[in-house]
């Protein structure tokens, strides 16, 4: 029986999240280098007694401290945009799952299989995790490329699974796509991430990742 700490603060379970963690570490390294340099310069300028009353301008130093931040920003911008576009790119999906936001529950459609459509409501007295478990979980085979299409039937919602690094607005009249390739079995939770009305906090998402054999069993028995 999984306990609450298996459900919250989950480890990465999707390539997107691994990319985001690496990008976070990369950005933090740059941030630390800048902070250390700035603190050093501030302390150094406070403790030394140098004073140049003839100094009015310095073209070279102006050029350097304009160019250097621009170059540093490029080192952050390029990988950031790369990940942003990669997360929405679809790589030969095995199947498509349609996610539809409603006030206040999610519904799912597996259009590659006949008649698989269901609503997913929060369970009131969950033994697993309060406010996160649902009656019908999204069943997904692991190690399998999946296309997720997100839309809404009423107002804007947002379908998100933090451990997979996925978060996509569910907008009425528009279909957004995401790529998912879960790397291990387990259950992964998420919540609606766009204020959508009174019960916004009570329309969680629960994904159950299983192997292909059990997934087909689930499809057959649906």
Output the smallest distance, CB 98 to Cu ion, in A: 18
In 3-state terms the chain splits into helix, strand, coil percentages (rounded to 5) of 35, 25, 35
The yes or no reply on residue 200 touching Cu ion (CB under 5 A) is yes
Measured from the CB atom, the residue of 141 and 190 that comes closer to Cu ion is 190
The yes or no reply on residue 168 touching Cu ion (CB under 5 A) is no
In sequence order, what are the residues at sequence separation of 6 or more whose Cβ sits closer than 8 angstroms to the Cβ of residue 153?
100, 101, 102, 107, 172
d(CA 16, CA 13): 9
Measured from the CB atom, the residue of 87 and 196 that comes closer to Cu ion is 196
Output the smallest distance, CB 158 to Cu ion, in A: 7
Measured from the CB atom, the residue of 102 and 157 that comes closer to Cu ion is 157
Binding window for Cu ion (CB under 5 A); candidates: 74-82, 92-100, 167-175, 193-201? 193-201
The yes or no reply on residue 6 touching Cu ion (CB under 5 A) is no
- The SS3 call for residue 179 is strand
The yes or no reply on residue 196 touching Cu ion (CB under 5 A) is yes
The yes or no reply on residue 192 touching Cu ion (CB under 5 A) is yes
Binding window for Cu ion (CB under 5 A); candidates: 2-10, 12-20, 105-113, 195-203? 195-203
The yes or no reply on residue 17 touching Cu ion (CB under 5 A) is no
Residue list 138-157, contact with Cu ion (CB under 5 A)? 157
Strands 146-152, 95-102: pairing is parallel
Output the smallest distance, CB 204 to Cu ion, in A: 10
Q: Pinpoint the alpha helices (H) of 14-122.
A: 15-47, 59-87
Cα torsion 211, 186, 133, 180 to 10°: value is -70
d(CA 87, CA 178): 6
Residue list 63-102, contact with Cu ion (CB under 5 A)? none
- The SS3 call for residue 56 is coil
The yes or no reply on residue 170 touching Cu ion (CB under 5 A) is no
Strands 205-210, 138-141: pairing is parallel
Q: Which residues bind Cu ion (CB under 5 A)?
A: 157, 192, 196, 200
């Amino acid at each position: 029986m999984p306990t609450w700490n298996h459900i919250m603060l989950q480890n990465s379970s999707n390539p997107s999240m691994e990319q985001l963690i690496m990008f976070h570490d990369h950005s933090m390294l740059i941030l630390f280098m800048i902070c250390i340099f700035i603190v050093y310069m501030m302390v150094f300028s406070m403790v030394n007694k140098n004073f140049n009353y003839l100094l009015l301008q310095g073209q070279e130093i102006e050029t350097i401290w304009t160019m250097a931040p621009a170059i540093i920003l490029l080192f952050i911008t390029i990988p950031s945009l790369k990940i942003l576009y990669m997360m929405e790119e679809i790589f030969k999906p095995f199947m498509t799952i349609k996610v539809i936001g409603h006030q206040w529950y999610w519904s799912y459609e597996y259009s590659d299989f006949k008649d698989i459509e269901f609503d997913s409501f929060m369970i009131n007295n969950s033994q697993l995790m309060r406010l996160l478990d649902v009656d019908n979980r999204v069943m997904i085979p692991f190690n399998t490329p999946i296309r997720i299409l997100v839309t809404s039937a009423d107002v804007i919602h947002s379908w998100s699974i933090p451990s997979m690094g996925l978060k996509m607005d569910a907008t009425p009249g528009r279909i957004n796509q995401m790529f998912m390739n879960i790397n291990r079995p387990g259950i992964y939770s998420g919540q609606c991430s766009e204020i959508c009305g009174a019960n916004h906090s009570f329309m969680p998402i629960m994904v159950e990742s299983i192997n292909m054999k059990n997934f087909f069993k689930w499809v057959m028995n649906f």
